[in-house]
């Protein structure tokens, strides 16, 4: 058992768990490392409201004051947003050190899944998962997110994997780890800014109820997480040739500056934001809200089984 001193579940989340209400977890690196203040705070508030508007209780996940936090107060959310990139970026390997030193940290997909499981939250909405980086055959740069799926029973609604990644290899690692890749109303795996790639999902479910049933069976079998791929809304999709050009230029610049490891994703996303004159950020916010909406519907369907 995790000591209560290391895990703090907000009273609203505790009450929702006890009464069987739908809950949707939200990660926090998009707040700390995704955009500047005050836009990040505005976005965080809006995404939480989307969850509420669709019948669920939002639980933003972070690490603050030596505790894993499931559900933040308005004041905590503002403190996290103001801290921004000065906060740590916490993945599984960082957890113990950040708790021991009582640093503030935004949580990646892997760490958010971990905290969700400890708190008893089954559904989590994010933007896009991490994966196998381009050139990983030389760098071995593979996100801890992929391994987390294999062992942590949480359903993650996302717009696929980030476009900056090697999608084919990312899907191959997920398959190796036995992770179901489910499409919500799509046969094709999306890639963040793009609605579809040339790669198929494992199953296409058309309704939240179908996904809720599948998740129930998955966890009755004592199996791990499920990736639920939800494409970016049509009106927010970006042009593939445009995105590919930005990614290529950003990768070249990252190589010149020798930017690697956990710093690479924030750098690439910031570079794409600048090259697209902010268009990529608008797409990012739109897809996160869309994922929050779908996650809330799935969470609500799970409460009715």
Q: What is the pLDDT of residue 251?
A: 81
Inter-residue contact 211 to 265 (CB < 8 Å): no
In this predicted structure, what is the pLDDT of residue 2? 58
**Residue 229, pLDDT above cutoff 80:** yes
| CATH class of segment(s) 7-303 | alpha beta
Catalytic residue set: 27, 162
List the domain boundaries for the chain: 7-303
Q: Chain-wide mean pLDDT for the chain?
A: 93
Q: What is the pLDDT of residues 139-193, one digit of tens each?
A: 788 899 999 999 999 999 999 998 888 999 999 999 999 999 999 999 999 999 9
The 10s digit of each residue's pLDDT in 266-275 is 787 788 888 9
Percent of the chain with pLDDT over 70: 98
Statement: residue 29 has pLDDT above 80: yes
Average pLDDT over residues 23-52: 94
Residue 1 clears pLDDT 70, i.e. is over it: no
Window from 77-81, 158-162, 211-215, 294-298 with minimum mean pLDDT: 158-162
Least confident of 45-54, 80-89, 134-143: 134-143
Reply yes or no on whether the pLDDT at 84 is more than 90: yes
How do beta strands 181-184 and 67-70 pair?
unpaired
pLDDT for 164: 82
What would the pLDDT profile of 274-288 be if each residue is shown by its tens digit?
898 888 889 999 999
């Amino acid at each position: 058992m995790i000591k209560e001193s290391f895990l703090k579940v907000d009273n609203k989340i505790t009450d929702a768990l006890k009464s069987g209400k739908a809950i949707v977890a939200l990660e926090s690196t998009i707040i700390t490392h995704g955009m500047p203040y005050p836009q990040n705070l505005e976005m965080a508030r809006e995404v939480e409201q989307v969850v509420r508007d669709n019948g669920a209780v939002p639980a933003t996940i972070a690490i603050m004051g030596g505790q894993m936090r499931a559900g933040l107060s308005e004041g905590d959310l503002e403190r996290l947003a103001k801290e921004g990139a000065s906060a740590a970026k916490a993945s599984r390997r960082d957890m113990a050190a950040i708790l021991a030193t009582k640093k503030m940290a935004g949580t990646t997909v892997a760490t958010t899944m971990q905290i969700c499981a400890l708190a008893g939250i089954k559904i989590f909405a994010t933007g896009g998962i991490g994966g196998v980086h381009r050139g990983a055959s030389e760098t071995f740069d593979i996100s801890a997110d992929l391994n987390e799926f294999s062992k942590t029973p949480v359903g993650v609604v996302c717009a696929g994997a980030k476009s900056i990644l090697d999608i084919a290899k990312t899907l191959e690692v997920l398959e190796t780890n036995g992770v179901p890749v489910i499409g919500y109303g799509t046969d094709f795996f999306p890639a963040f800014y793009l609605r579809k790639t040339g790669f198929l999902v494992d199953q296409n479910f058309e309704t939240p109820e179908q996904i809720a049933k599948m998740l129930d069976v998955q966890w009755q079998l004592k199996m791990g997480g499920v990736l639920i791929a939800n494409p970016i809304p049509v009106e927010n999709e970006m042009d593939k040739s445009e995105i590919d050009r930005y990614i290529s230029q950003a990768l070249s610049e990252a190589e010149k500056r020798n930017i690697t490891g956990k710093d690479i994703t924030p750098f690439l996303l910031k570079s794409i934001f600048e090259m697209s004159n902010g268009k990529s950020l608008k797409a990012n916010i739109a897809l996160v809200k869309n994922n929050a909406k779908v996650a809330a519907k799935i969470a609500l369907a799970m409460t009715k089984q």
